[in-house]
Amino acid sequence: MTRSSITFSHRYSLLMITFFALCLVAKAQLSTDFYRATCPDLLKIVRREVLSAIKTEMRMAASLLRLHFHDCFVNGCDASLLLDATDSEKAAAPNLNSARGFEVVDRIKSSVESACSGVVSCADILAIAARDSVVLSGGTSWKVLLGRRDGLVANQTGANNGLPSPFETLDVIISKFATVGLDVKDVVSLSGGHTIGLAKCSTFSNRLFNFSGTGSPDSTLEQSMLTDLQNLCPRTGDGSNNTAAFDRNSADLFDNHYFQNLINGKGLLGSDQILFSSDAAVTTNTKSLVQSYSSNSGLFLRDFADSMVKMGNISPLTGSAGEIRKNCRLVNS
């Protein structure tokens, strides 16, 4: 080996050691006890406000869970979705007249600020509220890593392009998850979040009458459910704001019933049903995961919790990056 090759090898090793060290430091900046000294009652405050919101409207659990998901997929988990800005992510197609729960986040933030002003980020509030929404709907808990800071800019284009759509193919959806560091298991387990909540007709009416230009409904949709949905969302477009449960016959309980529905052709969105019924479901392994989760509730709940922690680690701002917003809708002046 020549002197130059030894030097290159040494430099390369140092670079790799430095890279992995930086990665470990970045991850270490998020911790479960980040606010132990600065805001010791944080978890109690958020839990109390989420419980109050869910008691008022059970659907809010799904809405708060979705806010965290839609935030993390764009700019990382930095609460950019909450900003009322010129380039607002709220106005992006996947969120417009769809994302909801912002007023609940405002109330949580106000309560947190009253207890410990200028300390807790909106991004961390979203992460805690998502966990509590699952727990209060009957799902399992997990330890939320904290220490995120809030972003300074929204990204409407990123929301339009990066968020998975109910009309996309499985390969495209898997690719969008992979872009933010999530794998096929994450795709299926996080899709299980649709075990709670409602969706508007506009998100699934393409399946009801003229699916993909065939002139017929989506053949993977179970007949009795098809009839019910056709009555709810007629071809004329009347009732376009009507809603149906993601998880038929188990709309408010966080369980594995969603996956049982997929096996029976009762997935609401096209992006739900393709996890089991599409050709790609076999080649990508999503079908076997659906089958496993449908018969093993504990496995689903554990994998879902693991995937939520993983999703919450998408490009967080830490240290001196970003800021701690006083108002989740606005950057600090």
Active site residues: 70
Q: How many CB atoms lie within 10 A of CB 35?
A: 21
Q: Alpha-carbon distance 96 to 188, whole Å?
A: 25
Cβ contacts of 227-230, under 8 Å, gap ≥ 24: 229/201, 229/204, 229/205
| Closest to 322 in 3D by CA, of 18, 83, 70 | 83
**CA 105 to CA 46: how far, in whole Å?**
9
Cβ distance 124 to 151 under 8 Å? Answer: no
Closest CA to 166 of 195, 206, 130, 198: 206
Cβ-Cβ contacts under 8 Å for 160 (sequence gap 6 or more): 92, 93, 94
